[in-house]
Structure 1
Amino acid sequence: MRVEIWSDIACPWCYVGKARFEKALAAFPHRDRVEVVHRSFELDPGRAKGDTQPVITMLTRKYGMSEAQARAGEENLGTQAAAEGLEYRTHGRDTGSTFDMHRLLHFAKAHGRQDELIQALYRANFAEERSVFDGDEHLVELAVSAGLDADAARAVLADPSAHADDVRADEREAAALGANGVPFFVLDRAFGVSGAQPAEVFTQALTQAWDARSPLRPVTGAVTGGADAEDAGACGPDGCAVPRH
């Protein structure tokens, strides 16, 4: 069975959702027969390379939040991340273009190191003091930490066309599937899960996808008595949902 995950390194709910999904997958009896593929989705595809700004500034300017609201949202996201055993810096993070990161992830996929790289990128963006947007050499260092060759990673970053078509193809496919926010999980092209749902919802989706084949349909927290899909953490063109609890 294949699970495809559309996500963006700049998306905090993708960071949290990956941990929740992996918790469900670890307990799934058929986990050794599940292939996980990470797909590209940019929350800000029009942002130019090198155009970075503080996360709080981006939230206030792009989504019309007050600075107090933006900071409260980051604090709440930090609490959600901590509940999954994740580190999350609520202050001092930057945001910028993730296109080159997605190109590197396709390069990593070709070498069987995609999951290792996306984890390294998430950790760098959400937990470490040095900005993940601090130039190509930092991305090369992260690629090496994921088990990739430094010169090969550097060559990918130096060629703007390398894997660019792969990134755009993923984004077109997300649109075709109706994904307007991330994280978005597609299980065996039979079930779709939107947002950073609780692990129990991912467990249900894995079980249903394993047992049956059907047209893609949403699996939400409402199935198991939890929150509706719109209450699950996700990031989209209108911003990242602030946790209610």
Structure 2
Amino acid sequence: MRVEIWSDIACPWCYVGKARFERALETFPHRDGIEVVHRSFELDPGRAKDDIQPVIPMLTKKYGISEAQAQAGEENLGAQAAAEGLDYRTHDRDHGNTFDMHRLLHLAKERGRQDELIQTFYRANFAEERSVFGDDERLVELAVSAGLAEDEVREVLADPSAYADVVRADEREAAELGANGVPFFVLDRKYGVSGAQPAEVFTQALEQAWASHSPLKLVQPAGQDGAEACGPDGCAVPHRH
């Protein structure tokens, strides 16, 4: 069964929500049968690559709140992250364009390293001092540490069209599914979970989606190998006694 997660590296609730989902998945009895795919969603798609801004001023302008309110929100996020065992810097983080990171995540998907790269990006953005924005060398360093080949990473970053179409396709699909915020989880293309819900909600969603996904189980009367039926070779003719 496939679980698709629309998210953005700049989204702190995506960072927290991923940890909560993984906590639910860890105890899910059918976890080995779950394929997780990360999909692209930009919170600030119109931002120029070189337009990098500290988080607190960005929040005050975007939401019309005071710096004290914005900082209180960051402190709350820090506490939520800590509860999931995540490091989170509540001061002096940057905000910027994430398009190149999404392009690299699609390369990572092809190489079987997508989960490793998105977690590396999250940790770098929310827990490490050095910014992930506006610095291709920083992205190369992070992608290589997640298991990607340096020459491939540099090739993608040097070509603005590489994986651009699939990023935009993910974003269009999110809109079609009704996702106007992230994180957004889609289970088996039947069930959606919006936001960084508690692990118990993800457990319930996994159980419900798995129950409807599971193959049909046949009920056979005791002591009987099968019953009369027609198949591709025709219908068995009953024997007369």
TM-score normalised by structure 1 residue count? 0.86
Identity, % of aligned positions: 82
The residue number in structure 1 matching 2:193 is: 193
CA distance in 1, matches of 2:47, 2:155: 22
CA distance in 1, matches of 2:79, 2:148: 32
CA distance in 2, matches of 1:145, 1:206: 31
- Aligned 1:1-245 pairs, distance under 5 A: 1-212=1-212
Q: Deviations over 1:23-43 (max 9, x none)?
A: 000000000010000000000
CA distance in 2, matches of 1:154, 1:123: 21
CA distance in 1, matches of 2:193, 2:109: 23
CA distance in 1, matches of 2:144, 2:2: 27
CA distance in 1, matches of 2:125, 2:117: 12
**Residue identity in the other structure for 2:74:** E
TM-score normalised by structure 2 residue count? 0.88
Equivalences, count: 213
The residue number in structure 1 matching 2:216 is: none
The residue number in structure 2 matching 1:231 is: none
Residue range with higher mean Cα deviation, 121-130 or 133-142: 133-142
Q: Deviations over 1:128-171 (max 9, x none)?
A: 00011150010000000100001110110110000000000000
**Aligned residues of 2:5 and 2:38 also touching (Cα < 8 A):** yes
Question: How far is the alpha carbon of 1:68 from its aligned partner?
Answer: 0.4
Q: Deviations over 1:180-216 (max 9, x none)?
A: 0000000000100000000000000000000015xxx
Question: How far is the alpha carbon of 1:50 from its aligned partner?
Answer: 1.4
**Residue identity in the other structure for 2:85:** G
**Aligned residues of 2:11 and 2:43 also touching (Cα < 8 A):** yes
CA distance in 1, matches of 2:63, 2:197: 23
CA distance in 1, matches of 2:109, 2:190: 23
> Higher Cα Rg: structure 1 or 2?
2
Q: Deviations over 1:42-97 (max 9, x none)?
A: 00000011110000010011211100000000000000000000000000000000
The residue number in structure 1 matching 2:218 is: none
Q: Which runs of 5+ in 2 are unaligned?
A: 214-241
CA distance in 2, matches of 1:32, 1:212: 17
The residue number in structure 2 matching 1:218 is: none
Runs of 4 or more off by more than 4 Å in structure 1? none
CA distance in 2, matches of 1:141, 1:63: 33
CA distance in 1, matches of 2:154, 2:162: 11
Residue 45 of structure 1 aligns to a residue whose secondary structure is: coil
Residue range with higher mean Cα deviation, 132-141 or 69-78: 132-141
Residue 37 of structure 2 aligns to a residue whose secondary structure is: strand
CA distance in 2, matches of 1:154, 1:139: 9
**Residue identity in the other structure for 1:90:** T
